[in-house]
C-alpha cells in the first residue's frame, strides 16, 4: 500500500495545528482523492480513552468522517507490547466502524537507529503502514525493515530523509568517517572532499 500505487495525494497532518489548517484547505476537494495521515504520540502512557479522544478530535479538526492512516507515533521497544495489547484493539475497533482505514506505527529513530522496535513489530500482522528513518547516512532499514515489509505488503513512509548533518559539512564528514570505520559504507563510494558533489552543484540539486 503506497501513495504512488493508489495514485492519490498523501497528507501528513498531525502537529503544529496542521490538522485545522489542512481541514480548511481540503474542504472543497473530493475526499476520495486524498490520503490523510495523522498520528498519536506514545511518549506518555496512553489509555484507550486517550486514543479515542485524540482520534475524534482529529476527525473534527480535519472535517472528515474517516482517517486513512493513523499512526502510533515514536514507539520504542519497551512500550511496544503494552501498545500492541492495550491500544491496538481500539484502533481495530475504529477500523471496524469505518472511521479508520489503515493502522500505522512510527519509530523513534534517534535512540533506535537499528530499527529494533520495527523489527519486532514486523512479527505481528496488524500493521498496515510503517514510518521508518532512512537517509544517506543510515540505510540499515533496507535489510532490517524493507524486505520483510514488502513481503507482508506493508506500506512504508520515510522520515529523517534529510538530516541536520547534511547541512553542516564538518559534521557530515565526521558522520561519514564514523560509518566507514564501522564498515557501514564503502569509502570508495564517497568523495570525502565533497561528499555531496553528486547531488548538489552550481545548477541546483
Letter string b/e over residues 52-78, b meaning 16 or more CB atoms within 10 A of that residue's CB: eebbeebbebbebebbbbbbbbbbebe
Question: Residue 14's closest CA among 31, 32, 39?
Answer: 39
What nine digits make up the cell of 11?
A: 497528507
What is the model's pTM? 0.78
User: What's the CATH architecture for 3-161?
Assistant: Alpha-Beta Barrel (3.20)
* Domain boundaries, given as residue ranges, for the chain: 3-161, 168-205
Confidence band of 196 (pLDDT split at 50, 70, 90):
confident
**First-last CA distance in the chain:** 29
Confidence band of 86 (pLDDT split at 50, 70, 90):
very high
State the Cα–Cα distance between residues 166 and 160, nearest whole angstrom. Answer: 11
Q: HSE on the CB side for 175, CA within 13 Å? A: 15
Q: Which of 69-83, 90-104, 191-205 has the lowest mean pLDDT?
A: 191-205
Q: Which of 60-74, 137-151, 191-205 has the lowest mean pLDDT?
A: 191-205
What is the DSSP track for 95-158? HHTTSEEEEEEEE-TTT-TT-HHHHHHTTSS--SEEEEE-BTTB-THIIIIIHHHHHTT-EEEE
State the Cα–Cα distance between residues 84 and 91, nearest whole angstrom. Answer: 10
Tens digits of per-residue pLDDT, 151-177? 999 999 998 877 666 777 888 888 888
What nine digits make up the cell of 41?
A: 504520540
Neighbours of 153 (CB within 10 A): 9
State the Cα–Cα distance between residues 127 and 117, nearest whole angstrom. Answer: 13
Amino acid at each position: 500500500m503506497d501513495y504512488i500505487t493508489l495514485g492519490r495525494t498523501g497528507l501528513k497532518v498531525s502537529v503544529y495545528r496542521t490538522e485545522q489548517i489542512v481541514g480548511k484547505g481540503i474542504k472543497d476537494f473530493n475526499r476520495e482523492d486524498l490520503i490523510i495521515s495523522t498520528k498519536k504520540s506514545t511518549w506518555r502512557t496512553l489509555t484507550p480513552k486517550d486514543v479515542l479522544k485524540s482520534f475524534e478530535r482529529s476527525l473534527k479538526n480535519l472535517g472528515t468522517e474517516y482517517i486513512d492512516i493513523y499512526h502510533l507515533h515514536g514507539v520504542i521497544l519497551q512500550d511496544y507490547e503494552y501498545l500492541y495489547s492495550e491500544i491496538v484493539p481500539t484502533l481495530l475497533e475504529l477500523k471496524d466502524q469505518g472511521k479508520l482505514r489503515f493502522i500505522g506505527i512510527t519509530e523513534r529513530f534517534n535512540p533506535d537507529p537499528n530499527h529494533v522496535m520495527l523489527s519486532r513489530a514486523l512479527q505481528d500482522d496488524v500493521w498496515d503502514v510503517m514510518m521508518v528513518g532512512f537517509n544517506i547516512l543510515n540505510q540499515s532499514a533496507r535489510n532490517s525493515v524493507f524486505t520483510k515489509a514488502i513481503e507482508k505488503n506493508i506500506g512504508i513512509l520515510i522520515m529523517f530523509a534529510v538530516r541536520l548533518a547534511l547541512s553542516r559539512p564538518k559534521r557530515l564528514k565526521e558522520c561519514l568517517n564514523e560509518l566507514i570505520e564501522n564498515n557501514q559504507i564503502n569509502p570508495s563510494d564517497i568523495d570525502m572532499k565533497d561528499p555531496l558533489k553528486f547531488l548538489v552543484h552550481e545548477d541546483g540539486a
